[in-house]
Structure 1
Amino acid sequence: MSTNQRQVPQASTLTISALVVLNGIVLQEGLLNGGNAYKWLLITVPLLLIAFYNIMQRRHAILRNYPLLGYLRYLLESVRPEMRQYFFESDLDGAPFNRRQRSIVYQRSKNVKQTVAFGMQTDAGRAGAEWLSHSMYPAKPADDALRVWIGNHQCGRPYHASIYNIGAMSYGALSKTAIEALNKGAQLGGFAHNTGEGGISSYHLRGGDLIWQIGTGYFGCRDENGLFNDTLFEQNARQSSVKMIELKLSQGAKPGHGGILPAAKNTKEIAAIRNVKEGTTVYSPPAHSSFSNPTEMLEFLQKMRFLSGGKPVGFKLCVGDKEEFVQICKAMVATRIIPDFISVDG
């Protein structure tokens, strides 16, 4: 910067200067006229103190540079989602579910029709658009058209599953009310409810069919050291509500690591469900302790199938390396142990 250029004062300097002048004016007015003028100091003095504090602190650069106006940024950030949702977002915007999709869920939960007459909002000409095509001779679908048998010749108790089921969400991640609602919905709709890896709670037992998911923490079927316990597994797996068992190898949302149950969330009820010590932080390891290669994994599935009384068993994975899945397929050929289903996560 050349010596003949004048440096522009920073916003923080201008703010402090303006507040000092403002407080001086209020004091002068009070000295000259007395009375109610001093009441304004209840506003101007705190503003000056806040401004002084903000220019001294080092945590927030915005408040350091703009001691008072900087708060507007945080205010606008806090109301941004509501502003977008109610004023700027169209019915087809939003992710993962747009307003129209959410409205369908709300209306169906209230048993209200969601018919929209006279046209459509979606662009039927765009690539990937979906719709129901007309037919001159529509046929009535068979009663079992939307169901499929899960269970191969090695399975003693195949399950006639719906093609529409509830994905894995644990009690603890969801409230008891949400778990109850999902399970009762599964009962009403005639489909299955995946427990998630958090174990089977009493809220899962509201009449809906269950897919019991077993993760690396072996919640609901573990001993005091966190290892798989045959007896506890058999007790839970043979419940009439449990129709299938899913061994979780990995999921798309958590590549390469397990999970953590914080001590604050590990209540007496959660601890009893998961067979852990109450009030402690519980770690789910990245990998299973019961096996370390494809052959051992298939043998573990076979053991779970036997302990469950012949119910369908399968595994869930997110394919990170195609060769790893190829090795599982080769192990199936070598051991002749065939899982009843495979869940592929995105």
Structure 2
Amino acid sequence: MSYRKIFIFMSIMLSVMAILNQLLLQGDTLVLILILAFSALGWYDVLQQKNAVLREYPIFGHLRYILLDIAPILHDYFVESNTGGRPFSKNTIKLVYARAENKPGYHPLGTERDFYKEGLEWIGHSMFSKGEFEDQPRVLVGGPECTRPYSASILNISAMSFGALSKTAIQSLNKGAALGGFSHNTGEGGLTPYHMEGGDVVLQVGTANFGFRYPDGRLDEEAFRKKSKLDSIKMIEIKLSQGAKPGHGGVLPAAKNTPEIAKIRMVEPHTDVLSPPFNPSFPTEEKLVEFIGILRDLSGGKPIGIKLCIGQPSEFESLLDRFIEKEIYPDFITVDAAEGGTGAAPLDYSNHIGMRGDDALKFVNGALIKKGIRDRIKIIYAGKVVSGFNMFKAFCYGADLCNSARGFMLSLGCIQSLKCHTDRCPTGVATQNHELAKGIVPNFKSHQVRNFHDNTIADFIDIAETAGVTSFDQFNPELVHVVEPTT
């Protein structure tokens, strides 16, 4: 006899017995309600035709989905090692928490990493002190065409939109940027009141032109001009692609698309908002180059840059040729990594599309040098930067400054629960649920944001001095070593 038939027989018997017990013996009403409720659930499972597991294993089949839902939590707390977590290991997360809380990031006994494992990276230290690195160094962004260059910190908040993040998270990030003197990228969701807490802002123009768009998605130049000329806006970033989902466009699930967000983005609320893979305002290389010039004029001469994940190298080199041909250059290029973060993306795109960060950064730096335009364009690296070592390596491979998204999310209290796309972020960081978002208090969390920034740069400077590096022109790829495969 199948489990399904056994359930049907037992359910009928239990229901009859419970009803008779209630009528004849005046039994516990709560017991009767529970029996009838489970019986109703079981009958629903048996009669429904969508789910085979529940149809064959009524009631008990639900345990499978409960366990699947809590499996990541159980794995994280009881199975995963300190070094094996993804996207970030427990040790890395603990380090970010320590930096945010102004605590020393010490680790006991010794490394937990396999120093003989292929691909492990290390830095050679200097035998003698070469001097001190510049304290809290800054980089001036803006080429000859730029009339309002920006003195940027070497570590800034990468693009994260209001919508992907809660308003209290955005407020905390911007207040933290104001406290620490670094910049905060709006992400493709556009400028919101929560980005106006005193911090320097990088205004991102996404493929959908959210916040300054016509109904067909093209850029509304007058709306852009008004926002870009605000004093808090220091730079403009044109997003061509994003590391975790290059060529796919952003995704804002309907659950997170509130009326407030829809109004800011100029879209319909409570609908899935899928950004197009390409911006309709510049369908070709030539149009993109012209678009850079247009935005520079509209913004009053502020630095204009592009953000992309490298796909086909020949296309990027062709774009550089168009810059040279038209004599219109971006002031900076933000290099994103295929291993970059996102709130929601198709798994195939996260796993298999785009060039990994180290390779992309080396390629972009080399291509600009080969074309003779490296001195005109700053490179910002935005690929999993959460530590001083990450920054040191990025500068060795050609970066002028760094952006971090998930590092600053962790500084707010993110626990890597992997629920960013569900609107059920338990820490209130990546949700539009007002009750959950209340867990973040901007006046308190902003100090953790600032602490993470300052302590990570201090860690970077410490590593640089250990390696005998005292200025940016001394960074080079040969300072970073990678364990080669054994033969």
Q: CA deviation at 1:270?
A: 5.5
3-state SS in 2 of match to 1:165: strand
Decide whether the 8 Å contact of 2:164 with 2:256 is kept in 1.
no
Q: CA deviation at 1:301?
A: 0.4
What is the rounded CA distance, in whole Å, between the counterparts of 2:130 and 2:300 in structure 1?
39
- Say whether residues 1:153 and 2:144 are aligned partners: yes
Code of the aligned partner of 1:16: I
The residue that corresponds to 1:11 in the other structure is 3
**Looking at both structures, which has the greater relative contact order when contacts are Cα pairs under 8 Å and sequence separation is at least 6?**
2
Q: CA deviation at 1:222?
A: 3.2
The residue that corresponds to 1:239 in the other structure is 230
Normalising to structure 2: TM-score of the pair?
0.60
Give the alignment partner of residue 315 of structure 2, picking from 313, 316, 324: 324
- Say whether residues 1:216 and 2:216 are aligned partners: no
The residue that corresponds to 1:267 in the other structure is 259
Give the aligned length: 333
What is the rounded CA distance, in whole Å, between the counterparts of 1:24 and 1:268 in structure 2?
52
Q: Indicate how the Cα distance of structure 1 residues 117 and 134 shifts in structure 2: closer, same or farther if over 3 A, else same.
A: farther
Decide whether the 8 Å contact of 2:213 with 2:219 is kept in 1.
yes
Q: After superposition, what is the alpha-carbon deviation per residue over 1:294-337, rounded to whole angstroms, capped at 9, x for unaligned? A: 12211110121122222211112233333432331221222111
Q: Indicate how the Cα distance of structure 1 residues 239 and 303 shifts in structure 2: closer, same or farther if over 3 A, else same.
A: same
Decide whether the 8 Å contact of 1:172 with 1:270 is kept in 2.
no
Q: CA deviation at 1:152?
A: 2.0
Decide whether the 8 Å contact of 1:263 with 1:279 is kept in 2.
no
The residue that corresponds to 1:63 in the other structure is 54
Code of the aligned partner of 1:319: I
Give the alignment partner of residue 78 of structure 2, picking from 70, 82, 87: 87
What is the rounded CA distance, in whole Å, between the counterparts of 2:41 and 2:261 in structure 1?
46
Code of the aligned partner of 1:157: R
Code of the aligned partner of 1:337: I
The residue that corresponds to 1:180 in the other structure is 171
Q: CA deviation at 1:60?
A: 1.5
Q: Indicate how the Cα distance of structure 1 residues 80 and 241 shifts in structure 2: closer, same or farther if over 3 A, else same.
A: same
The residue that corresponds to 2:419 in the other structure is none
What is the rounded CA distance, in whole Å, between the counterparts of 1:68 and 1:215 in structure 2?
47
List gaps (5 residues or longer) in structure 2: 339-487
Code of the aligned partner of 1:85: D
Normalising to structure 1: TM-score of the pair?
0.81
List gaps (5 residues or longer) in structure 1: 1-8
Give the alignment partner of residue 114 of structure 1, picking from 105, 109, 114: 105
The residue that corresponds to 2:189 in the other structure is 198
Code of the aligned partner of 2:6: L
Give the alignment partner of residue 337 of structure 1, picking from 325, 328, 347: 328
What is the rounded CA distance, in whole Å, between the counterparts of 1:277 and 1:22 in structure 2?
53
What is the rounded CA distance, in whole Å, between the counterparts of 1:192 and 1:311 in structure 2?
14
Code of the aligned partner of 1:14: I
Give the alignment partner of residue 99 of structure 1, picking from 86, 90, 94: 90
What is the rounded CA distance, in whole Å, between the counterparts of 1:288 and 1:27 in structure 2?
65
Q: Name the % identity.
A: 42
Q: After superposition, what is the alpha-carbon deviation per residue over 1:272-302, rounded to whole angstroms, capped at 9, x for unaligned? A: x44x377586764443232222122111101
Q: CA deviation at 1:64?
A: 1.0
